[in-house]
Amino acid sequence: MTYHLLIEAADRMGLVHAISGVLYDFGLNIEQNNEYVDKEHKRFFMRTEFSGSIDQDLVVRTLKDRLPDIKVSLFPKSRKKVVLMVTKEAHCLGDLLIRARYHELDMDIQAVVSNRDCLGDLVESFGISFHHVPHQGLDRTEHEQRVREAVKVYDPEYLVLAKYMRILSPAFVSRFPNRIINIHHSFLPAFIGASPYKQAYDRGVKIIGATAHFVNDELDDGPIITQGVIPVNHTYSAQDMAGAGRDVEKQVLARALKLVFDDRVFIFGKKTIIFE
């Protein structure tokens, strides 16, 4: 079996040797290794992919015993359980459904939850459960409670906001710490909020983009995973920009999910460390 080992620690001499020594002692074969040192904060990051037969808890305990004050995460390589959340735009949803069907991403889509019903036929054509949780007539707390009830049945490892156009409350986000991924239709930190293409058009920008990020308590302010841009010019209306941006959005979201689901992303403060 293949495993992914993620290590974060205060930087010091001998870390790579000590960590690889533990794996050697357990008779494990290192297949890929990446390291990075944030010199400003003197923090060490390491991702190791290895194969073998192990007692996960024993390996983690041994690493912590030999290297006090390190953060250790150890995962078997696996397809992640995911629930998608959408509103009424189909481009990101359709792209992810196809990629999941043909195993381009290491994810199993357990269900799709939406505050609109217009994408139900698309989702169900892939044999995936669709939950329509309307928001009309409900305050945010009531609506989010119903969304949580729909989601908790599946116990997902991640929620993916594939153009889910509602702001989640801190109470909701806190139930999925660093496990909600959003695609935002601008090159953050520029043009946050619901109408970035209109904002971009009003400013006469020459590039537009998309940003995939983890969701935190601040609007469109979570740690950035990936971004992408394309050129535009004065002939583009706000609607033209939105149309052109859809391809960027789905590509950026898919790339971000590939990195996250392959355990290549560390969250460090308000930014990410990514081993590609």
Q: CA 141 to CA 171: how far, in whole Å?
A: 9
CB 166 within 8 A of CB 134: no
Contacts of 3 (CB under 8 A, 6+ apart): 49, 50, 51, 52, 54, 56, 74, 75, 76, 77
Catalytic residue among 121, 220, 221, 240: 220
User: Which of 165, 168, 207, 212 is CA-nearest to residue 188?
Assistant: 212
Active site residue 202: no
The residues with which 62 forms a beta bridge, in sequence order, are: none
36: phi then psi, degrees, rounded to nearest 5: -150, 140
Distance, C-alpha 47 to centroid of its chain? 17
C-beta neighbour count of 77 within 10 angstroms: 14
Peptide bond into 196 cis (omega under 30): no
Q: CA 194 to CA 106: how far, in whole Å?
A: 30
DSSP character at residue 176: S
What dihedral do alpha carbons 213, 216, 218, 219 form, nearest 10°?
40
Q: Which of the residues are catalytic?
A: 220
